[in-house]
Structure 1
Amino acid sequence: MMTGGPEPDSPDVMSVLELLAVGAPPARFEELLRTARREEAPDSTLAELDQAVRLASRVQALIGHAQQREAGLAALVDTAHDLTLVHGMEALLHEIARRARRLLNFDMAYIGLRAADDEGRASSIRAAEGETTSLSVGLKTFEDSGLGSLVQRSGAPAWSPDYLADRDLPHSPDIDAVVRAEGLHAILAVPLGYGTTVFGTLYGADRKVRHFTPDEISLMRSLGRLAGVAIERARLLEATRAEVTELELDTSRARSSLNVQRRVEAAYIRLIDLVLSGCDPQTLAEAAVKELSGALVVRDCVGRTIVVTGTPPRLTEDDVLRWTYDAHAAGCPVPMPDGGWVAPVTAGGENLGAILLVPDEPLTDGFGVRLLQLTARAVALILLLQRTSTVAHDQIRDELLDELLSDIRTQPRQLIPRARRLGIAIDEPHVMVLARPEGGPEGRAAAWASSYAHRMSGLMRFRDGYVTLLVPSEDPLAAATAVSEELTPLVGHPVTVGAAGPVSGPGRVAQAHREALSCLEALTELGNLGCVATPQQMGFLGVLLSENRGVGEYIRSVIGPVVDYDTQRFTELTRTLDAYFASSSSPTRAASDLHVHPNTVSRRLERIAELLGADWQDPERALEIQLALRLHRTRRTLQHRHAATGAARDAGSPAPRGSGP
């Protein structure tokens, strides 16, 4: 006897809904069909019941997929939290491999990292979980073989359902031997990195043929990003310990500076203890100022002040930026003319910000400068720890933008509540902005874009050397100009910007992206690097670049006031414009062609200047007007021809020769 759901006397569509509501297994739905056939239900009832069962199966599949995706994201968030609790590089690598194996039910997971002294030409397997031989750990892979080489070159995931049988991959005898010894078939590899730098590969493998789904690849890629941040954090901690060790060695070698070194070490240990206890940047800065004595300011990568202690003097923004860039170039604190110091806050080569210190007394004994440098390291560490806890949230934002930019969406309305939960009102007007720095460090542009998107309650991604931003606005030109003005001084190079919109709702975001990209490419082809453009600002080129700005809108934007004037007052200003340009801008010849007095043409031209503006005869404007006139004339001809064809058909007579269908 079956349990877990209703047992209807006569199966029908409502029976299917009742089973669906209680989450009955698929076998119960098939039992309904068999019961209906045994009871010899009418054919129409059987057809409806069969269709309802098939639809119920699809609903169950969708619910199952959503639950699976939700479980994966929940596991990803738990992993992000747990990785922050692991200390020590080796323990962290084994924990990452263990998490990867459990997350996607792999038979084996392993991690390869580039050797620091090998200039990125080789990687070695540092940790493995689920291995059956001792061959995998310590194996070296080079840049011209294996899935890892594809990942290292492209920075994107690579996979194969059956590695040894896949002849499209770059094989090597050493790697193939290990894969054969472990009995592996399917392998998925994703990059491990931080910022724009890829320093390793995370692998998952099965001992059977397996075709990976897009969701599995995306989940593995997300784990790789989390793991990359965690590994960089562990490297920074190791570097910190190395710094402490170096201080201890210097103390033993230079007895004359023993007191200074001990003070620095003790102060730095106190700062690191604060970081590991989970303090915020403000608490850390206040503790550092007690040792340094003065005013201290912490700024982020886009120049915003996030921490202030004491009362720092007023400094011009240009001077602060110049000294900040000098400090990042030198990789150490640099003095300012007024006695202050600027120290760079960096991690893995990425600019995380800077620290400005204005001491009460000059730093002369080496203690203050050294402690300031170590304070900057501690600030970098705490910012990395904070970023680790939010990287899963940022990954969800990245996936939302990827879905909005894809034309393949089954239910776009579901994206609106998802966006709302992230604080993004996607159903309100937004514009698409694509900005490409023509030089400068990419990490700086990527960090700025992330900060800007959060500040504007929008979405971003950095790919292929340019920033994609979806931000709330009704004016694409104003949004593009704001991005250019803020990003250009930051990267120190021209920034080319294309924008489109506004759009409301998820359905037209991909179209706005294509139009903005077309504007960016058009500026490049025209040689206008460092400029800003939207379809509306590109004149007749905008008609070609825009997917929703038609010929009629273009005509109205260029000569609309003249056409409306003719329509309302039965004048011939449009015809006069045509004759004027046809006569090489000669009023006399235009009057002859129009069979009117030259004074009449002059008065009409004055009226046209009032309607279009005094600059209507400037070369670029005149070209736009002539193109709009030709399009207007062509449209009227086609409309008259179509009207004549329709009249002939209504009268039952053949259409005029040469008329279109």
Structure 2
Amino acid sequence: MAEQRETHGQTHGPREPYLSGYAEILAGVAATGRRLTRDELEERRHLGERAAEAGHSLRSLVRLHLDATRASWPGAAGSGTADGVLAAVAQAVDAFAEGYERAQRLAVRQEEAARREFIDDLLYGRSDLGRLAERAVRFGLVLSRAHAVAVAEGPEAYDDTAPVTRLVETALISRFGDRRVLITTKNGQLICIAPGDQDEVLAFFAKQAYAATEGSRVAIGRPRSGAGGVVHSYEEALSTLELAERLELDEPVLRAADLLVYPVLTRDRQAMADLVLSVLGPLRGARGGAGPLLRTLEAYFDAGCTSAEAARRLKLSVRALTYRLDRIHQLTGANPADPVHRYTLQTAVIGARLLNWPAQEI
């Protein structure tokens, strides 16, 4: 038989070896009416595995078996019947396909293992950077470029096989095609790694993740260059998620670039603790402790220092809110309505949130 070609036009070489012994099996079945032996079935499975590993399509190989059946169809002289021969054909092809599928599953598992190992090395920076860059090409990333990482955290943990993961990945592929974007999961979170100059990809990922997880929170790290840059952007996104939790931020999409002031404030934890205790410590002397007055300051600053809006958020009358602000002034010596005092108070309030004070002693 002449050299075959796959349907996509790529030559894989002669495929007759995958029919080894097939004509003899049919002849034996036609002569005796027997079924295939265990060894014959195992040989069919082995040939199927070899064909899969060689990259041949199962469709073309089944067609090859049918062509061979037609070419070597046994005569009617033996004791076997046409039904018996057809049953043997079904056995042989089924065993061949089973071996083929077994090899395919093994290849998929190996690919998944390699992909997971690459993701772990990439996000934790545990591999040689040169070698990591070489492996990245296989998964569609060019690490010589700058990349940014977005991390989505939903109400439940997600892995690579979760419906949510597949839904978000399909949406990105449908929208952007091959943009050298990698969708994966890590520690139950959805992760998107994209070129740093393609912010629209990360924005679309955030939108899709938010919709698919029924209200997730997404953080986007800043673009960073090189293989190590992916790690830094990823860690920055994780830190942003943690920061949003501690500050009780409501925004569904948070960009690390917009929150740079907070890492600056927490860089010297002891200095921040001293500020919180010196400015807000006196509030602990109020009836009910510091908590109610601290929440009053938070609402007042979040409302843009508008008393009516702050009162509405706290479900208080404006008069009651004004009384609380006056009490804060009396205890701390700082007037929330005075622009000179306001910055110090607001910075201390942010520090209290970051340090979880007064619930946690500092």
Global fold match (TM > 0.5): no
* TM-score normalised to structure 2 length: 0.39
Determine which structure has greater relative contact order: mean sequence separation of CA pairs < 8 Å that are 6+ residues apart, divided by chain length: 2
Structure holding more strand per residue: 1
Structure holding more helix per residue: 2
* TM-score normalised to structure 1 length: 0.23
